[in-house]
Homo-oligomer: A and B are copies of this chain.
């Protein structure tokens, strides 16, 4: 456990929410959490306050905390913003690319290629994350990178669902190829455009998302 219980609990509960162990709408009882993690209510409350500030849960005064249920429309909005931020990261990456970032992108990109070829969607899920993180880092904007990582984290469960859709693996990878080309060519505008459409969910992909969310 981390050196202070509050911080540790925050991560612990956050992971439980993002891995769907606590379902959206579920009530989070302070005493239950406290006994479950073997601490008093104080650090539990501090963790909940932080999760409320981040927007993962909602604390209604005197009525306890519940896991926020974004709903399909809001998830769509979040992907829309994510697409925009990733687009910016990509355009910055194209302009500021250095040797280390280039290698990081190449390495994660080829790992994606292998997973896609193997049809291993779980492996691709992980490699895809690393690929995108490499692009965030290549943009050389700490604030942007943090924002991207945070949103990426929140959207993780939905992204996972998305990947299970038919043909998504090969489609995703071929989009990656074009993105890498644009970044390596220093074409910021093209990288931005490609990343926006890659990350955003338009047309039938939105129905896919809704369907997979309803399936839970």
Give Cα distance in the complex from A74 to B141, angstroms.
8
Q: Which residues of B contact A78 (CB under 8 A)?
A: 143
Q: Which residues of B contact A84 (CB under 8 A)?
A: 84-85, 87-88
A92's nearest neighbour on chain B, judged by CB, is B80
Give Cα distance in the complex from A45 to B41, angstroms.
14
Q: Which residues of B contact A99 (CB under 8 A)?
A: none
Q: Does A81 contact B (CB under 8 A)?
A: yes
Q: Which residues of B contact A3 (CB under 8 A)?
A: 61-62
**Contact status B54-A143, CB under 8 Å:** no
Chain B min CB distance to A164 (Å): 24
Q: Which of B46, B77, B144 contacts A142 (CB 8 A)?
A: B77
Q: Does A53 contact B (CB under 8 A)?
A: yes
Q: Which of B54, B80, B88, B141 contacts A144 (CB 8 A)?
A: B80
Residues of A46-97 contacting chain B, CB below 8 A:
46, 49-54, 61-62, 74, 77-78, 80-81, 84-85, 87-88
Q: Which residues of B contact A46 (CB under 8 A)?
A: 45-46, 49
Q: Does A156 contact B (CB under 8 A)?
A: no
**Contact status A74-B4, CB under 8 Å:** no
Give Cα distance in the complex from A3 to B74, angstroms.
28
**Contact status B50-A142, CB under 8 Å:** no
Q: Does A24 contact B (CB under 8 A)?
A: no
**Contact status B50-A81, CB under 8 Å:** no
Q: Does A186 contact B (CB under 8 A)?
A: no
Chain B min CB distance to A94 (Å): 15
**Contact status A77-B144, CB under 8 Å:** yes
A contact set with B: CB distance below 8 Å: 3-4, 6-7, 42, 45-46, 49-54, 61-62, 74, 77-78, 80-81, 84-85, 87-88, 141-144, 147
